[in-house]
A and B are shown apart, each in its own frame.
Chain A
Amino acid sequence: MMIVNYVASVFLVVLGLYTIVTKKNIIKIVIGTGIVDYGINLFIVSIGFNDGGTAPIFKMSEILSGAYFVDPVPQALTLTSIVIGACVDAMALSLCIKLYKQYKTVNADEIRRLHG
């Protein structure tokens, strides 16, 4: 049932945004951005999936109207997006380490020297 995937992906995105907005620990905020990414990845891979479809290896002449296969493009998109998501998390966590060294805290409420 694809509908479960869609509901779950939207739930993950909303959960991620909720985490970013409400949590004050910067590590948890980074985890929130990760959850948003996973939700979107689940969504993308779901839109290309056909239950019982074959592998998408065809010549142009072999594609008939009855051909039933899994769309390969979303899989390529998901792979790219997973790589990018991992990079975002790695970079954000390295910035967290730097922030902790400078501010001696991981509380977002106290990391606000740039304001106003």
Chain B
Amino acid sequence: MSYIHFPVLAVMLLFMGAFLTVVFGRHNQGVRVGICTVTSVGAFALIAALIKPVMLGGEVISYWMGNWSPVEGYAIGIGYEVDQLGLFFALLVVATVLLSAIYSIKYMENDSSLDFYYVLFQMLAGGVLGLVLTGDVFNMFIMIEIMTFSAVGLTAFRNHKWGAVEAAFKYLIIGSIGSSMVLFGVAILYAQCHTLNMAQLSSILSGNNSPATIMAFALMFTGLAVKAFIVPFHAPAADSYAAAPTSISMVFSGMVNKAGVYGMIRLVYIIFRAMDSSALQMLMVVFGCVTMFVGVTMALAQHDFKRLLAFHSISQIGYVITAAGLGTALGLTGGLFHAMNHTLFKGLLFLCAGAVLKQAGTTNLDQLGGLSKRMPKTTICFLVGAFSISGLPPFNGFASKWLIYQAAFAKAVESGKIIYAFVTVIAVIVSVMTLASFIKVTQAAFFGQLPARLNDVQEAPTLMLVPMWIMSILCVLSGIFYNVVDKYLLAPATDAAINVTNYIDTMMGGGYAAAAGVRNIAIAPAEFSYWNPILWLVLFIVVLAAAFIVMITGKSDRGEILCAETDVEDGKYATFFSGEHSLPSHVAGSDLFWGFKKDWKKYFHVIEGLHSGIVSDYALWAVAASAVIVIVMFGFMR
């Protein structure tokens, strides 16, 4: 039973690492890297050791700080509680932290003040890990604040650049609006229920909504939505992902916005158990669809590699919110699967962008090109990530998107509302636009002509390639062996979100949930019908083999290219063909989809105007959206 201490130890280890870095790591890079490696590997090992009892054994771990266990049915201490849903997200967090820590060693080698970097990095990791493992809403607020602070600090890490400071300021203002809303919601909940424990709140709040708790729900929902960066709270995310060092951009898209998604799922499924409200389902699906669409169209308009990836990150979070908002077990499974896949492929893509930034010196797509000749390994990793995010079989993005399409259709059939079928249509269109956008990036950065000034670009160092290889392999494996992922990770997590009896009983004592009238619902296992990745893999190999055969059986002597006599000294008598001597004619990122952009000129004009870059405008969106959420909740959730 010693593993009940593991969650707390993992969080403490990361915070202790931050502290020790301040004390001992001020001058010596080796000490800093050593501490960070020990803490990130240690946290990974501690959390991975919980897979066996929690995921396979179906156990829920509860841990009362200072052994302040509940007295007479009232939780008076701060409790940590690890159920399958929390552990699922905790695994994403520790994996991201470990890979990012490996990547940072080489990537950050030329920066100064690295002691601050490592302090903030471990604070961020500890904050997010604490957020997904805690069982106390106020503790959750504290962890959100630690997370936001360190994220803002890391965004502004390269503060000699104007973009970093500006993005950090916007992130801080919008983020603090979100945190304030969470805190207000927590305070109202405490006033109503006199407890801060999630399990006890869940049993008290089941079906007893008063106007005060609805207000609390709306405020906490808004606050966590700000942390998940769904539209219209997304604007600082695009800025800060692009401005932060790339190892941190990966952490942001891999776990910081997942923390917000986790908070929303925990809030709607477990604390309030409100997912049977059709108004809430509709609200989440609408928010999710808008997030998907705005994210991907804004990505099409970008010229900067990292900013484009940031908008895709927002768009993919839209998928997760939509799927979770369907309120069905199938939808939640798809959403969780997509959250996991997003961590893998978006992390991979950011790492590739970081490799390009470090080796080529820029992420401006109009200045890049032809890098596949100089950085072939990075190109392969990038292609795996691009195929995954665009949802091409047999990569993992396809499996999770397919589940989401299926879930939306099933929801339309089940509820009789035709609008859920359109969700599938929107999701497919967004997927196509994602593919288009990645064709543009691939063409602009990796294929085409190599500009002369990039001639001496080298392949990324091995220590940076290792995390990229690991993530590429995981992208392929989780796409092919989706059944294994579903059985050991997704199904337990979905079950934990929908059936909360075990969660409440473990924390508050046996029979507590039943006394409060909380019942379990049997859920059908998710079926990945109509699609078999092995067949797609075979098809993929057959097509490749056919192309290869065509290539090698073709005529090897292609004849000679007729050209003019060019060795004539003065060129006066040379045959004149046309134009000037071979100008570079690279198709840059902005040119590829000009027709589409022209057709949608009005839309792009409006949407780019809305992203005005002024922090008070973004705050206005946030406040207006929270007002809408409050009104919808009060109007329809009673």
Contacts and interface: CB of A to CB of B under 8 A. Distances in A.
A40 B166 contact: no
Given A21-B616, A36-B180, A47-B187, A99 B163 contact: no
Contact of B169 (A21, A26, A71): A26
Interface in B154-196: 156, 159, 162-163, 165-170, 172-173, 176-177, 179-180, 183-184, 186-187, 190-191, 194, 196
Interface in A81-109: 81, 84, 87-88, 91-92, 95-96, 98-99, 102-103, 108-109
Interface in A22-43: 22-24, 26, 29-30, 33, 36-37, 40, 43
Contacts of B184: 13, 40, 43
B616 A17 contact: no
Contacts of B190: 44, 47, 73-74, 77
A81 B145 CA distance: 10
A81 B623 CA distance: 21
B135 interface: no
Interface residues of A, number: 43
Nearest to B142: A80
B177 A17 contact: yes
A88 B187 contact: no
B173 A20 contact: yes
Interface stretch (B381-389, B606-614, B628-636): B606-614
A21 B301 CA distance: 27
A84 B127 CA distance: 14
Contacts of B176: 33, 36, 88, 92
B172 A95 contact: yes
B405 interface: no
Interface residues of B, number: 46
Given A88-B176, A116-B613, A77 B187 contact: yes
Contacts of A109: 614
B619 A21 contact: yes
A73 B177 CA distance: 24
B149 interface: yes
Contact of A95 (B168, B186, B196): B168
A73 B169 contact: no
Nearest to A25: B616
A33 B173 contact: yes
Give the residue among A20, A37, A44, A92 with the most B Cβ atoms within 10 A.
A20
B302 to A, nearest CB: 8
A20 B149 CA distance: 19
B81 interface: no
A111 B615 contact: yes
A108 B165 contact: no
B332 interface: no
Given A17-B623, A21-B623, A115-B613, A60 B169 contact: no
Interface in B388-446: none
A71 B193 CA distance: 13
Interface of B: 71, 138, 142, 145, 149, 152-153, 156, 159, 162-163, 165-170, 172-173, 176-177, 179-180, 183-184, 186-187, 190-191, 194, 196, 238-239, 242-243, 301, 608, 611-616, 619-620, 623
Given A21-B623, A33-B177, 5 more contacts: A20-B173, A40-B180, A88-B172, A111-B615, A115-B612
- Report the 9 A-B pairs with minimum CB-CB distance, sorted nearest first: A115-B613, A112-B613, A47-B191, A102-B162, A116-B608, A114-B239, A98-B165, A44-B187, A95-B169
